[in-house]
């Protein structure tokens, strides 16, 4: 009997030790995740918050300008931002794996390569904004909305060039766990944007131009602060100055960037296509305004998810660079668990607030009523935001962007959009039908990403990451022709 009691006590003690060890591991991993995620969440929420605040100011100027702004921001800006964010995610993969492998000096070279690639890409895409009115007419949008959107799109040009630097620098800094500076700069950016918008729009009476000038000024404030931080010596190991090495091996970087670009673009353009479909419905002005308000609320919450996407990328890339496949698997579990808890909180919040959210952007009761009807769908979209971005971040960290691009293409464009168009135009659901189709596409994508993550051989991914780092490695940076900054 004593032996039985002793065995039970020993087993109980061992279970407590395992549970204690697991709790400690989860706590340790959570700290690593939040060290990357929290600054990323703050910076993205503040940066996108500036866009949302600008929409709010424009919306209170006129309903037509609100629809025009929504068209530009949801179609043109999201189109270009999707390409640049995707192209920049190659920087996220390479810098994360280089930091994990201890190849710190390569990170500055990867950053400069991304500037070159993104700057050329954005300049090529500039006609989307220069000929905005013609583009929207070609897409079949209402003439008045197309005219307003074309005018506003010209004001977006100074703003979009900040993406070349802000997106890549954030990935560069977060890969080496130095992105808290971006969080502080973003808080100052958002803090100055609201009073500056009020000053230019209402006190100086500049209207739409005032709102757009404020958006550009606040966005470039962030970029200038980031450049001062890097050039000022706060990244001594990862930034060695400008170098001609940035122009070497651009082709393989462009290939990885393109697969990354397609992956993210297909995701971000998905909502844009749905706004386009809403523009073909009766009462297009109300449909576009209401749908874009919901999508912007969804996108603002999605900035939190992007923080976890960035954290997932960094954690996976770092551990792959270190050659630790087990740590990758554990990190994925903790990331998903944390993100789902946060997503559930915002799911409940959206259900509770309902119609009140709409009046932050418009005084039109018709638009507010339409937003209220979409609240349930908005809530489910917010909940899904807590899952698939984390899985996308895992794929980016492992360099599997091309596989995810195929998944996004099939789930969004062969399943989601046709379903949404069918429900929106062939039934009485209208905008609701479009959004139900969107959610259906996201659900299928989430299931596919879960299967991909579950089936991935992470030991094999360790080998691939080492091969990738060796292919891009520059042995002695001191021998390169460097230009002093």
Q: What is the mean pLDDT of each run of 10 residues along the chain (485 residues)?
A: 47 46 86 86 86 87 84 84 78 79 86 89 93 89 87 94 92 85 93 94 92 95 95 90 81 69 68 68 70 78 82 85 86 92 90 76 78 85 89 83 83 88 83 85 92 88 76 54 37
- Predicted pLDDT at 373: 81
pLDDT score, position 398: 81
Tokens of 87: 């192209």
- Residue 274: the pLDDT is 65
The CA-atom distances, in angstroms, between 262 and each of 20, 80, 402 are 43, 12, 8
CA distance 50 to 237: 33
Whole-model pTM? 0.74
| The predicted structure's pLDDT at residue 8 | 44
Classify residue 101 as left (phi > 0), alpha (psi -120 to 50) or beta: alpha
- Number of Cβ within 10 Å of residue 437's Cβ equals 24
- Given the structure tokens 């079949």, which residue do they identify? 140
Q: How far apart are CA 246 and CA 472, in angstroms?
A: 11
Residues sharing a CB contact under 8 Å with residue 3, sequence separation 6 or more, in sequence order: none
Please give the pLDDT value at position 256. Answer: 66
């Amino acid at each position: 009997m004593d032996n039985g009691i002793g065995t039970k006590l020993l087993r109980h003690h061992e279970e407590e030790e395992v549970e204690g060890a697991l709790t400690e591991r989860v706590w340790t991993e959570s700290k690593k995740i939040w060290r990357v995620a929290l600054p990323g969440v703050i910076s993205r929420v503040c940066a996108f918050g500036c866009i949302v605040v600008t929409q709010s100011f424009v919306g209170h100027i006129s309903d037509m300008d609100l629809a025009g702004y929504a068209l530009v921001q949801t179609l043109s800006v999201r189109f270009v931002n999707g390409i640049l964010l995707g192209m920049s995610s190659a920087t996220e993969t390479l810098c994360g794996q280089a930091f994990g492998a201890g190849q710190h000096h390569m990170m500055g070279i990867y950053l400069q390569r991304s500037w070159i690639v993104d700057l050329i890409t954005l300049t090529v895409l500039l006609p989307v904004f220069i000929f905005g009115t013609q583009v929207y007419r070609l897409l079949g949008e209402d003439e008045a909305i197309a005219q307003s959107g074309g005018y506003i799109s010209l004001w977006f040009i100074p703003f979009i060039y900040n993406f070349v630097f802000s997106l890549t620098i954030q990935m560069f800094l977060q890969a080496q766990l130095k992105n808290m500076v971006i969080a502080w700069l973003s808080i100052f950016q958002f803090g100055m944007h609201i009073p500056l918008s009020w000053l230019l729009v209402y006190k100086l009476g500049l209207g739409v131009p005032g709102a757009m000038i404020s958006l550009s000024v606040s966005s470039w404030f962030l970029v200038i602060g980031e450049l001062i931080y890097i050039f000022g010596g706060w990244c001594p190991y990862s930034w060695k100055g400008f170098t001609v090495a940035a122009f070497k091996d651009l082709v393989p970087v462009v290939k990885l960037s393109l697969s990354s670009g397609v992956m993210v673009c297909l995701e971000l353009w998905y909502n844009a296509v749905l706004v386009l479909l809403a523009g073909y419905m009766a009462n297009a002005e109300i449909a576009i305004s209401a749908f874009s308000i919901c999508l912007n609320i969804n996108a603002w919450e999605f900035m939190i998810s992007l923080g976890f996407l960035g954290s997932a990328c960094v954690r996976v890339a770092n551990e792959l660079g270190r050659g630790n496949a087990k740590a990758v698997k554990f990190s994925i579990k903790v990331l998903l668990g944390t993100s789902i808890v946060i997503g559930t909180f915002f799911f409940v919040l959206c259900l509770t607030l309902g119609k009140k959210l709409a009046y932050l952007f418009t005084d039109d009761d018709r638009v507010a009523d339409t937003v209220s009807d979409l609240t349930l769908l908005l809530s489910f979209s917010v909940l899904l935001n807590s899952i698939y971005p984390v899985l996308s971040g895992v794929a980016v960290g492992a360099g599997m962007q091309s596989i995810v691009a195929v998944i996004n293409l099939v789930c969004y464009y062969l399943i989601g959009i046709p379903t949404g168009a069918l429900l929106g135009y062939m039934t009485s659901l209208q905008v609701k039908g479009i959004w139900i189709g969107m959610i259906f596409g996201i659900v299928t994508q989430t299931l596919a990403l879960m299967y991909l993550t579950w089936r991935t051989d992470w030991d094999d991914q360790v080998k691939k990451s080492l091969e990738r780092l060796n292919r891009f490695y520059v042995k002695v940076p001191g021998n390169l022709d460097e230009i002093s900054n």
